[in-house]
Amino acid sequence: MAIIRSAVSSSKSPDASTFITLLDSGTLATARTQKPAFLRLFGPSSDDFPQIGRITSPFATKGIPSAKELRDMLLKELAQGKADGDETPVYMPHPPIHEEGRGGLRRKTVKKEGLKEAALNLITNIPNPTYTAPGMIPSLPSPTLEALCSDSKENPPDLLSATEISCAILPCNTYQPLQHYSEGTTLTTLLTGTQVSIIWPPTSTNLSKLAAAYKAFARTSDPSLLAITSTLEGGIALVQRRGDTLRVPPFCPTIALATSTTVLAMYHIVPASSFLPICLKIPFLQHWWPTETRGDEKRAAFGEALLDCMARIMDCEFESYAVTDVAHGLDTPGPLLELVRNWDVVKGDVLAVMGEAERAEVARKWIALLSQSSGMHCLICKKWMRTKEKDIPKHFMSSHWV
C-alpha cells in the first residue's frame, strides 16, 4: 500500500486527494491480497479477481515499443486513417464542459476542429511524461499493435466475441471518475506512463449504488454525484507500470489516475459462458447508457450484438451436440441450457434493448428451435403439446414472450 500511496502523492492532480482519502480509510486491499473477505466479494473463481503482472501480457514475447516509437506509430496510423477517410481519433474533453440549457446543465459540444488539434497535441506529447491537458483519447484503434500481438491474445475455446487492440491516451494527472468495466473481460497493458487504479467487486450492493449514481448523473450531468466511492465495498488498489497487464472481470466499478502521460493498449473478450450473466446485468446497463454520449446508439448496437450472440448460442455453436440433437430432456451443461432455463427470467430485459427487426428474429429463432427439438414437450417449460409444429408458435408467444 505504501508504494501505491507514494505513486499518488507524486501527482499534482487535485483528484489525488480522493485516492489518498480512500487509501487512508483502511477499507482497501492491494491486488496481491489473500484476505478471504476481499477474494469472496469478487467471486468464487480466481478468474473473478483482477490480476496484474506480465504473464497475461499479449506483448510478452514481442516487446513493447518505446514512447517515441509509439508516438511515431500512432501519428503514421492517423495519417493513413485520414487518407482512408476515418474520423478517428475521438478526443474527450475532460472534465466535460457544461453549459446552461433547457432543463439544467448540459454537456457542451466542442467544435470538432478544436478536438482534432487537441488529440494531435496529445499524441505528439506521448514521450513527455509531464504533459498536461484537459482531456484524453479513450479509444484509438491501432492496427500496428493489433498485428504485433494478435497471436498472443487470450483465446478461450468458447470465445463469443473479442475486440481488436485499441489505445487509451491520457495526459499526466488525468483522473477517470467512477465508472464500470465493460461486459467483457478487459485486458489492459500499460505501454508508457504510470496509472493508479482502485477496482471494486461487481457485487449487487456496489452495482445498485453505482446504478443510482448513474441515474442521478444522467439527469443533471453533475460529476459530484459520482463521488460515492467511500460507500463501496471490497476495493483493491494497484499501480500499473510499463509492461504490466491488468486483467479485470466484467462490470467492476473503478476509478483511475494517470500520474504521468500514459498509453494503455486494451482489448476485451467475452466467452459464451458470460452470455447469461450479461443478460442479467441489462437493468444496470439501462442506467448507464443515458450517461454516455450517443447512449442510444450504444444501446442499439448492444441489442444487435446480443441478437448475434444469442443466435450463435441457439445454433449450438458452443455445444458438444448439434442443434438437430436438441431434445426436451436437454441437460448437458452449456450456454444453450443456461439460456433455455433462464429465458423467461431475462426475456423482458433482452427484448427491451432490441428494435422491432431484432425482436422478430428472436421470436423466429425460438419458434424454430422449439418446433424442431425432439419430443412432444416445450423445451422451455416442459408443457406437453398435442401437435408440436402447430401449437408451438401460439404457445411460445403466449407463455415465453413479453
Identify which of residues 95 and 348 has a Cβ nearer to Zn ion in the complex: 348
Q: How far is the CB of 349 from Zn ion (least distance, A)?
A: 19
Identify which of residues 197 and 373 has a Cβ nearer to Zn ion in the complex: 373
Distance between CA atoms of 371 and 396, rounded to whole angstroms?
10
Q: How far is the CB of 312 from Zn ion (least distance, A)?
A: 23
Q: How far is the CB of 380 from Zn ion (least distance, A)?
A: 4
Identify which of residues 123 and 392 has a Cβ nearer to Zn ion in the complex: 392
CA 60 to chain centre: 23
Q: How far is the CB of 372 from Zn ion (least distance, A)?
A: 15
Measured distance between the N- and C-terminal CA atoms of the chain, rounded to whole angstroms: 50
Strand arrangement of the beta sheet that strand 29-30 belongs to: 29-30, 236-241, 194-199, 253-258, 175-180
Identify which of residues 19 and 343 has a Cβ nearer to Zn ion in the complex: 343
Q: How far is the CB of 278 from Zn ion (least distance, A)?
A: 24
CA separation, residue 51 to residues 29, 35, 55, 138 (Å): 13, 15, 10, 22
Identify which of residues 232 and 378 has a Cβ nearer to Zn ion in the complex: 378
Identify which of residues 208 and 399 has a Cβ nearer to Zn ion in the complex: 399
Identify which of residues 155 and 399 has a Cβ nearer to Zn ion in the complex: 399
Q: For binding to Zn ion (CB under 5 A), which residues are involved? A: 378, 380-381, 383, 399
Q: How far is the CB of 368 from Zn ion (least distance, A)?
A: 15
Identify which of residues 146 and 338 has a Cβ nearer to Zn ion in the complex: 338
Cell reading at 13: 492532480
Identify which of residues 131 and 401 has a Cβ nearer to Zn ion in the complex: 401
- Secondary structure string (H, E, C) spanning the chain: CHHHHHHHHCCCCCCHHHHHHHHHCCCCEECCCCCHHHHHHHCCCHHHCCEEECCCCCCCCCCCCCHHHHHHHHHHHHHHHHHCCCCCCCCEECCCCEEEECCEEEECCCCHHHHHHHHHHHHHCCCCCCCCCCEEEEEEECHHHHHHHHHHCCCCCCEEEECCCEEEEECCCCEEEEEECCCCEEEEEEEECEEEEEECCCCHHHHHHHHHHHHHHHHHCCHHHHCCHHHCCCCEEEEEECCCEEEECCCCEEEEEECCCEEEEEEEEEEHHHHHHHHHCHHHHHHHHHHCCCHHHHHHHHHHHHHHHHHHHHCCCCCCCCHHHCECCCCCCCHHHHHHHHHHHHHHHHHHCCCHHHHHHHHHHHHHHHHHCECCECCCCCCECCCHHHHHHHHHHHHCCC
Q: How far is the CB of 319 from Zn ion (least distance, A)?
A: 20
Q: How far is the CB of 377 from Zn ion (least distance, A)?
A: 8
Q: How far is the CB of 172 from Zn ion (least distance, A)?
A: 58
Q: How far is the CB of 381 from Zn ion (least distance, A)?
A: 3
Output the CA torsion sign for 270, 332, 400, 388.
positive
Identify which of residues 10 and 399 has a Cβ nearer to Zn ion in the complex: 399
